[in-house]
Structure 1
């Protein structure tokens, strides 16, 4: 089985201060590219894959992830993680905002949101 290809890695900051965070990271050159009210993503205009998200809490999952990793084949990533025995924190599912994702716990206890856009 071949490994999925990584497209983007993004830290997630848990916070209730979305607007303040947008203003703060804006001072470093980030611009808002997505805002669902509970998660906001900021990106660099010159390097769009350089992103950071700020999240109050996850809308459909029991925990807030620490980071997101976008891959080209989330189903292959899910199969690889299950085969390895890694702890799946949130099952593979399609979300209404256009991603297919699952959460897995890394060896450091961090929760990683692994996703592909549909």
Structure 2
């Protein structure tokens, strides 16, 4: 099992997430990040010079009951899921295929943070 990237997720204002994501895109744009993905409820910004340097801004997760604190892309999400289940870790959102091309689940870390563990299909 190998980690491919780690992306922090910033939760926006719930009053108007679209406007909050737009403000975040403008602000982080001043720091050199550009939008590389936008599903309306989550937007990912990346460095044009170093595309693996990323930050996601989200209002609420589209298919999960909680917004994750960070996303961790792995090469084999099924193997990671099996290892975490076997360890007794709390699975917050079940392993499933999402319509936007990822297979993912959420797990709670020992300090209570929710981690979105995913692989692209």
TM-score range, shorter chain: over 0.9
Q: Which of 110, 114, 119 in structure 2 is aligned with 1:116?
A: 119
Q: Deviations over 1:7-63 (max 9, x none)?
A: 000000010200000000011100000001000000011111110000000000000
TM superposition outliers: structure 1 runs of 4+ over 3 Å:
none
Equivalenced residue count is: 115
Structure 1: unaligned runs, 5 residues or longer: none
TM-score normalised to structure 2 length: 0.94
Q: Distance in 2 between matches of 1:41 and 1:72?
A: 20
Matches of 1:37 and 1:87, distance apart in 2: 28
Hey, what does 2:72 align to over in structure 1? 69
Structure 2 runs not aligned, ≥5 long:
none
RMSD over equivalenced CA pairs, Å: 0.4
Q: Secondary structure at the match of 2:79?
A: helix
Q: Which residue of 1 aligns with 2:2?
A: 5
Q: Which of 18, 21, 24 pairs up with 1:18?
A: 21
**How many angstroms apart in 1 are the aligned matches of 2:109 and 2:93?**
13
